[in-house]
Structure 1
Amino acid sequence: MSRTAQIEGALGQRVARLVPLHGGDLSDVARADLEDGREVVVKTGPMVEMEARMLQAMRAANAPVPEVLHTEPGLILLQHLTETPPSPESYRALGAALAQLHGTEGNSYGWPEPYAFGPVEIRNTQDGHWPTFWAEHRLQPFLDVVPKETAERLETLCIRLPDLLPAQPRPALLHGDIWMGNALFSGAAAYLIDPSCYHGDPVVDLAMLNLFGQPPTEVMEGYGSLAAGLEARQPIYQLWPALVHLRLFGAGYHGLVTRLLGRAGV
């Protein structure tokens, strides 16, 4: 069955046209213009059903996300949101959206199922000890893809994590891949898109948000009070997305990895 036929079968309305949209490593994205005037976002790919479950969990936490209209194997249909240039108000809304998301907690660290960034597996096996989770499921999987000296420094950091990270921080619901490109601004609102959810230290999302440049001050104004220890934990948490980028895009990111190891004290 064609993608158009799947959409028409799900919504009971003919598709007038499909318009490609920018997407990521996990899925193909398009806008479907329906004959009744509605617009929906169409995402296809091997992991989109998991994305739909994450969006539904975020929506249950009252965080602003696109509504999931339909799911089936390899296809999800989402509410279409009109994108507008960001403003101070929408930047504050982004901070408030993250704070709202982080207000929901899990019973342990991790997520009920694994995920992936393209070919990079994301291990989400649930654990009750945060430093162990971060070492085993976020840093150690990359030991075989970095140079030997870097791997040794990474191993040293993993050994030290119980002294550097809290044993049991609040297991907040995390976006998991939050950067400015995964926020959709619409008027004065901001919506969280393209999640990679799991439960963990809320500082993880804030560190990711600061990895490739500092966000506008209004974002943190909207978020509110920051967790103690943000500066010390930030390079440890930024290492994971840096390692993902190294794996996906090559040696140009090795310098970022080594600088973050240095900032983490190894």
Structure 2
Amino acid sequence: MDIFTKKPGEPQSSLAEAAGLSWLREASPAAVARVISVDAHHISTARVEPTRPTPAAARTAGRELARIHLAGAPAFGAPPAGWEGPNYIGTQRQECTPVERWSDFYSGQRVLPFAHHAYRRSHLSADGLHTVQVACRLLRQLDVTVPPARLHGDLGNGNLLFGTEGPVMIDPAAHGGHPETDLAMLALFGAPFLEEIRAGYEEINPLESGWVEWTPLHQLHPLAVHAASHGPAYGVALIEAAEATITLLDG
């Protein structure tokens, strides 16, 4: 068996990743990377033999993502089952404290912490931070009734692999959240055959009519993360998404 091994530098990051993969695999064993071995300093997973993405594989990815979401989570912000250590998205630590309301979780644990970090690093202007804060204030007034989904949490294009045996998701930042957030991240980072992914998803878990219009709201978190870690260009994109969110919520 071919194995892929990495050695993250962040404390317990490999263990957090393994916990996330195991939690997601409960719902989709074929479409989530399998952990071969893990300790505090490394994680080894079954290697995915890459191939060109196809519309059929993209539709399969959408179906499997829907099955993972439908497996649910105890609360918004809930970490993977049994995991009590730190949680990460990429190399950046993020909070996973279970709460009842999605809007409180998303604004308070996902968007604002990274927006403030981006501001402190001069990757986001003071006016831009204020715009994000306004969007989050309006968001907290929104009554979201969707049940907590079991999210991958970092589903950029690079974390959805197309292998010879089908699509495989890797490197999660798994937690309980809103299902549209994973879909919005796929849209943000250019997943191939996105419409097929969405169609496959809705075969298993149909979403409310017009859900795609809310994509900018669900892109606030990944954009804030990238603004904090990758620079001012993402700060500009974050402001644009916040302005679109304000229009949606206050229009």
Q: Deviations over 1:221-248 (max 9, x none)?
A: 2112542252343211101111111111
How far apart are 1:196 and its partner, in Å?
0.8
| Deviation beyond 6 Å, 4+ runs, structure 1 | none
* 1:246 maps to 2:227: yes
SS at match of 2:50: coil
Which stretches in structure 2 are left out of the alignment for 5+ residues? Answer: 80-84
1:235 to 208, 216, 224: 216
Q: Which residue of 2 aligns with 1:210?
A: 187
Counterparts in 2 of 1:87 and 1:43: CA distance versus 1, 3 Å: same
Q: Deviations over 1:148-205 (max 9, x none)?
A: 1112222212211134451x42101001111221111123611111111011110111
Q: Deviations over 1:113-171 (max 9, x none)?
A: 542245532111111111111111012212352321112222212211134451x4210
1:161 to 119, 139, 142: 139
Residue identity in the other structure for 1:155: Q
Structure 2 Cα separation of the partners of residues 92 and 231 of structure 1: 17
Q: Deviations over 1:66-122 (max 9, x none)?
A: 211112221122112211111122111111121111111112111335422455321
* 1:79 maps to 2:46: yes
Aligned length: 228
Counterparts in 2 of 1:118 and 1:68: CA distance versus 1, 3 Å: closer
* Highest RCO, 1 vs 2 (Cα 8 Å, sep ≥ 6): 2
Counterparts in 2 of 1:91 and 1:214: CA distance versus 1, 3 Å: closer
Equivalent residues of 2:157, 2:190 under 8 A apart:
no
2:14 to 36, 41, 48: 48
Counterparts in 2 of 1:250 and 1:66: CA distance versus 1, 3 Å: same
Residue identity in the other structure for 2:207: A
SS at match of 1:210: helix
Q: If the length of structure 2 is used for normalisation, what is the TM-score?
A: 0.83
Structure (1/2) with the larger helix percentage: 2
Q: Which residue of 2 aligns with 1:22?
A: none
Counterparts in 2 of 1:118 and 1:88: CA distance versus 1, 3 Å: closer
Equivalent residues of 1:114, 1:125 under 8 A apart:
no
Please give the root-mean-square deviation of Cα atoms over the aligned residues, in Å: 1.9
Equivalent residues of 1:143, 1:154 under 8 A apart:
no
Structure 2 Cα separation of the partners of residues 173 and 160 of structure 1: 25
Residue identity in the other structure for 2:137: I
Q: Which residue of 2 aligns with 1:143?
A: 116
Counterparts in 2 of 1:214 and 1:40: CA distance versus 1, 3 Å: closer
Q: Which residue of 1 aligns with 2:149?
A: 172
Counterparts in 2 of 1:240 and 1:149: CA distance versus 1, 3 Å: same
Structure of larger gyration radius: 1
1:257 to 224, 238, 241: 238
User: After the TM superposition, which of the residue ranges 209-218 and 243-252 deviates more from structure 2?
Assistant: 209-218
1:128 to 81, 85, 100: 100
Equivalent residues of 2:156, 2:191 under 8 A apart:
no
Q: Which residue of 2 aligns with 1:91?
A: 58
Equivalent residues of 1:90, 1:187 under 8 A apart:
no
% identical equivalent positions: 29
